[in-house]
Structure 1
Amino acid sequence: MALKHKGEEPVPDAKKRKRVGFTKIDPGIEANECIKVFLVKNQDEVGDRSSFCIDPVDLNQLFGEDGKIYGYKGLKIDIWLSIVSFHGYAEFTFESTSDGGKGITDLKTALQNIFGESLIEKADFLESFSRESQCIRTVLSDGAVVRSVPLMGDETSETHVDAEVSAVEVIRMNLLNMPVGLLYSRLIPLVLLLVEGGSPIDIADPRWEIYFVVKKTRDKSGDYSMKLLGFAAAYLFYHYPDSTRLRISQILVLPQYQGKGYGRLLLESVNFVAVSENVYDVTFEEPSEYLQHLRTCIDTLRLLSFEPLKSAINSAISSLKEGNLCKKTSKLLSGPPPRMTEIVRQKLKINKKQFLRCWEVLIYVNLDPKDKKCMDNFKTSVSDRVRSDILDKDSENNGKRLIEVPNDYGHDMTFIVFQSNTDEEVDDQNGSLASDQSTTQEEQLNQLVDKQMKDIIEIAKKVSSFDNKQ
C-alpha cells in the first residue's frame, strides 16, 4: 500500500467509481420480545410490572405472517387484563419511529384484532374495577349449578377474614344468552394467548354451552360475590338416530389458579351432565398433551370403581401371573372384551378410543410392583400391543414403507417410499439397507414401548393421588 506524502499532487484516477448507498431494511422486532401481558385484580396492580405476568403460547402468530412489528426503536408493550371484568388496557413506550422499508405497524389496530372491544382506554379500564366489580355474579346469576364443592387448594388464603366461603361452583349456561356471549367475547383473548391453536367459537349457534368454574364468597350479611377461575366450552352434536354426542372444544383455567384441581372439576362436571342426560358419549377436539393426560387420569379413576369391569380386569391380571404369555393371553391384555366397551360407553359415556387408552393403566394400578415376573409380562404385553399397532398400519399401506436415506444435495436426509416384497430376493446392497432399516425400526419400536410404559406409570401415580384425596 503506497503512502501519500504531504504536498504531493493527487493523481486523478482514469475511471472514477461512484459510491452507491443502500438503505438498511428494518428487520422488525418479534412480538414475543416486546410484549408483556399481566393479569390484575385491582387498580393498584395496573402499571406494576411485578404483577402476575402470563406466558402466552406464541404472540408472534398474532402479528402477520412473520410475527414482527415494524417501524419502532426501543418498543415495549404492556397489556393489563382485568380478572374482574376481563377488560384490557395496552400501554406503548418507544424511543422513536421510522419507516425502514416495511412501514410502521399500527399497534392499536393490531391489538384490536386480538382483544377486540374488550381493549379500552386507561381511565375506563381503571374505573371498570369498581363499576363492574359484580360482573361475574350478574352474568351467571341465572345459570344452573352443576357441581358445588368445598374450597380447594390455597384459595382459602385469599378469603377476607370477615367472609364465609360457601363453595367452588361449576355453572352451566348457553352461549346464545346475550350477557354470557358478551362475557365470552372478553375471554377470547385469553383463549388466543394461552390455548395452542385456540380460536373463537360461534356464539350464535344454540348448540354451544359453556361451563364456568367460580369461587363463591359469602359475607356475614348473606351477600356474596363470584370470582371466575376458568371455563370449558362444549358442543352438542346430533348422533343418528335419536341421541347427542357431547364434544369439549375449549377448556381453560386462569394461570394463577392452575394446579389446584379446577380443570378436573370442569371435566367431572361435563361427565356428570353427559351421564345424567344420557348423551351418546363424550369426545374432545384436539386436546393438548396435558389435557389428554388429565382426561385419562379422570376416566381411569371412574373405571376403577365401575363394578361391571372388575371381572375383566381380574382376568387380565391373573393371566399376567402365568409363566409365559401365549397369543390368547396377549390378546386379552391388548384390550377389554368388546361387550365391555359398549357397556362403558352406555353407562359412563367414555368412547371406545378413550377406553382403550385407559385399559393398560387399569391393569397396571392393580399389579404388585414387587412381582418382577408379573411386571415383565405386563411390559411384554404393552410391547406386543405397540408392535401390533405399527404392523397393522403397515398392512393398511399395502406394504409401502417410508424410510430415510442420505443424499448429496445439502440436506441431512431424504424420504423415499418403497414397496416391500418378502418373496423377492435382494442383492447385497439392498439387503444391507433392509438390515439397517430393520435395526432402526427396532430401536424406534423400543422407544415407543418405553414411552408408553412411562406414560402408564405417570398416569397411575396421578390416579393414586386423586384416589387418596377423595
Structure 2
Amino acid sequence: MEDPASPPVSALAARLEQWSSNANEALTITLLRHGFEESLDSFHPDFTYPIFGEEESIFGYRNLQINLAFAAHNLKPHVRITHDKKWEGVGEVQASDVEGALRPFLPASAFDQELASALRNDASAASFKPPGTILHRYTTQGRLFEIWYSSLADPATKELLRNVQVLVPLFIEGGTAIEVDDLEWTIERWKVYFVYEVDTRPKRAPETSPYALIGYSTSYRVWVLTLPPPLGPSQQAYFTLDPPETDSPDLSSLQSALDLPSRERISQFLVLPPYQSAGHGTHLYNAMFDLFLSNSNTIEITVEDPNEAFDDMRDWCDLARLRAIPDFASLNINTTIPPGDMKMDATIPVDRIVDITLRDKLRTRTKIQPRQFSRLVEMHLLSTIPPLHRNKHRITRKEKSATEGDRKYYLWRLYVKHRLAIMNRDQLMQLDREERIEKLDATVDSVEEDYLRLLEVAEKRQRSAKQRVNAAAHHKEDDLAAGAKSKSVNGSVGKLRGKRHRIVLSEEDDDEAEEVVEEDDEATLPTKKRRVA
C-alpha cells in the first residue's frame, strides 16, 4: 500500500524532470576570435551520448549551460559551466559530474579558468600560420578558404588535433579520437588536413589571426603486400601487414617505412555545422584525393566506415573525376554477345558485357577501391541507357530484345547481378533457387533506384558547372573587349597580372559562383588543379 506521506510517483517524476537537462541543448560550441571576445559561430552538437550516456541527459541542474569555446585559429578549448541551481543530493541520487564527464575528452588546460584571460592577451595570434603545407585554395561567395595538411608527427599539428578531437564524438556517430601520443613510427602514418577561412577584411583587428577553422580530416596509411607472380589488375591480391610486435621495427633496409606500398585510408572527416552544404566537403575530399594520387607508393584510396552523407558526396566526386577521363567515358555495354555465351547454364559473360581489361586498368590508375569503382562503373553504364528502356517489362526476351536499349538494360541488370551474387554469396546459398532469383532481382531494383537518385544530382551538378564555365568565358570576353576598347582610346594597356579564376562546382549547387584561386606569386600553390587522365 502506498505511503500517504509520500508524494505520488507521477509528482516525484515531474519533480526530478525539472532537474534534468538535455545534454545536446545544454552544450553550446563556439568559435571565437579576438581573444575570446568576437564570436564567429555558435552551434549545438549532434550527439552527446559518448560523454553523458545513452539518454543524452544531465541530472541535477536548473538552467544548465555548458559553453565549449575554441580559439578559432589554434583550436585551444575552454569550458565554462554555469547553472542557476544544483541538486543538493538525496542518498544515492546525486547531481551528474559534468566536468568529470568532459575531462577524458579535453586537454586539462581547457578547465583552467585562467586560460580565458591568457587567450585574451595572446600576442602570437596575429602571426599564427597553420602547420604544414597549403594544399588547395578557393573562394566561395566572396570568402577565401585554404586547406593545409601536415604529418601528425609534427608537434604543432599534434597539438591542434589534440585540441579539436572532442568534436569527433559530438558530430561523428561512433567516432573515436586518435591516440596522438602513440609510437613515433605509427604516428608518421597519419596526415591531418585543416580547412580554414581566411579573413581578408582590410579593417580586421591587427592583433587577431586571419585564420578560423571550419573543418578537418585525417587519413592514415595501411601497408600492403603485392603477391608475386604479377596477376591481372582485377585479380591482384593485397594483404594487410600486421604491425611489428616490437616497439622498434627493423626498417634498416628502407629509407622510410612510408616508402612501402600502402593504402591511404580516410578516417575522420568533419565540416562544422555552420559551414555545411556549401561545397567545403567536396573541396576537401578532392584535394585529399589529388594528393593521394600524386603519391606513387599509394596503391588504393579507401574510407573508414563512412556514413550515408559522406557516401553520397564521395560518389558525386568520384563519378565527376572518372567522367573527365575519356577512357572511362567510353565504357559502354556491348550488346553483340555470341548466343553460346548467353545459355542458361553458362557463366555470366561479364568480360563480354563490358571491356574488363580497360575497366581494371582504369581502376588501378585511379586507385579507387574495387567495390566503389564497380558501383561507379554500374552507375555510369546505367546513365548510357535511355530512360524509356529502363523498364523490366520491356526485357521479357532478354538479350534477344528487338531494340538495343532494351538489350543494354537487360545486360546491365545481368552485370550488376553478377557482382551482387558474389558479394552476398553466403547469404544467397542459404536460400532455394527461386528465392535466390527473387531476392537478387529485388536487390538490383534497389541498387538501380539509388543510382538514379545519385545520377540526378550528378547531372544537375554537371550542368551547373558547364553554365558557370560558360559564364566565366563570357565574362573573360567582355574583359578582353573592354581592354581592347581601352587600348584604342588610351593607346596602351597595362600588363594584367595576378589572380586567375576558374569556376568549379559547389557541393550544393549554389547559385553563387565558386572559384579556385591561383596566384602567380604564391609559390606553394599548384599552378593548376590536377586532373586524372
2:42 to 42, 53, 57: 53
State which structure, 1 or 2, has the greater radius of gyration over its C-alpha atoms: 1
1:290 to 309, 314, 318: 309
Give the whole-Å Cα distance in 1 for the aligned partners of 2:449 and 2:211.
46
Q: In the alignment, what sits opposite 1:85?
A: 74
1:231 to 206, 216, 222: 216
Q: In the alignment, what sits opposite 2:100?
A: 109
2:273 to 246, 249, 255: 255
Contact 1:30–1:69 under 8 Å retained in 2: yes
CA deviation string 1:161-207 (max 9, x = no partner): xxxxxx64322211111121111111112222122222111223221
**2:214 is paired with a residue of what secondary structure?**
strand
Contact 1:170–1:266 under 8 Å retained in 2: yes
Q: In the alignment, what sits opposite 1:356?
A: 374
> Identical aligned pairs, as a percentage?
18
Task: Give the paired residue count.
Answer: 400
**2:188 is paired with a residue of what secondary structure?**
coil
Contact 2:64–2:81 under 8 Å retained in 1: no
Contact 1:84–1:135 under 8 Å retained in 2: no
Distance 1:374 1:109, change over 3 A: farther
Give the whole-Å Cα distance in 2 for the aligned partners of 1:184 and 1:284.
19
2:170 counterpart letter in structure 1: L
Give the whole-Å Cα distance in 2 for the aligned partners of 1:274 and 1:280.
9
Distance 1:333 1:197, change over 3 A: farther
Distance 1:210 1:66, change over 3 A: same
Q: In the alignment, what sits opposite 1:456?
A: 455
Q: In the alignment, what sits opposite 2:159?
A: 182
Give the whole-Å Cα distance in 1 for the aligned partners of 2:2 and 2:463.
80
Give the whole-Å Cα distance in 2 for the aligned partners of 1:371 and 1:257.
41
CA deviation string 1:207-239 (max 9, x = no partner): 111122234456889x98433332221101211
Distance 1:256 1:126, change over 3 A: farther
2:163 counterpart letter in structure 1: R
Q: In the alignment, what sits opposite 2:327?
A: 308
Q: In the alignment, what sits opposite 1:430?
A: none
1:197 counterpart letter in structure 2: G
Distance 1:239 1:174, change over 3 A: same
Q: In the alignment, what sits opposite 1:399?
A: 429
Contact 2:72–2:213 under 8 Å retained in 1: yes
Q: In the alignment, what sits opposite 1:160?
A: none
Q: Is residue 150 of structure 2 the alignment partner of residue 173 of structure 1? A: yes
**2:299 is paired with a residue of what secondary structure?**
coil
Contact 2:195–2:284 under 8 Å retained in 1: yes
Q: In the alignment, what sits opposite 1:195?
A: 172
Contact 1:77–1:91 under 8 Å retained in 2: yes
Shift of 1:252: 1.5
Q: In the alignment, what sits opposite 1:408?
A: none
Distance 1:47 1:131, change over 3 A: closer
1:280 to 289, 295, 299: 299
**1:240 is paired with a residue of what secondary structure?**
strand
Give the whole-Å Cα distance in 2 for the aligned partners of 1:378 and 1:192.
46
Superposed, 1:441-452 pairs within 5 Å as 446-452=445-451
Shift of 1:19: 5.3
**1:252 is paired with a residue of what secondary structure?**
strand
Q: In the alignment, what sits opposite 1:6?
A: none
Q: In the alignment, what sits opposite 2:84?
A: 94
Pick 1 or 2: higher relative contact order, CA cutoff 8 A, min separation 6.
Answer: 2
What is the TM-score with the length of structure 2 in the denominator?
A: 0.63
CA deviation string 1:402-451 (max 9, x = no partner): xxxxxxxxxxxxxxxxxx477xxxxxxxxxxx8xx998997776455433
Distance 1:374 1:137, change over 3 A: farther
Unaligned residue ranges in structure 2 (runs of 5+): 227-259, 337-341, 391-402, 468-502, 505-533
Distance 1:377 1:78, change over 3 A: farther
Give the whole-Å Cα distance in 2 for the aligned partners of 1:85 and 1:362.
43
What is the TM-score with the length of structure 1 in the denominator?
A: 0.70
Contact 1:364–1:456 under 8 Å retained in 2: no
Contact 2:78–2:111 under 8 Å retained in 1: yes
1:63 to 31, 34, 52: 52
Contact 2:151–2:190 under 8 Å retained in 1: yes
1:108 counterpart letter in structure 2: E
Unaligned residue ranges in structure 1 (runs of 5+): 1-15, 157-166, 321-325, 402-419, 423-433
1:184 counterpart letter in structure 2: L
Distance 1:191 1:261, change over 3 A: same
1:339 counterpart letter in structure 2: T
Shift of 1:65: 4.8
Considering only aligned residues, what root-mean-square deviation do their CA atoms show, in Å?
4.2
Contact 2:382–2:412 under 8 Å retained in 1: no
Contact 2:29–2:68 under 8 Å retained in 1: yes
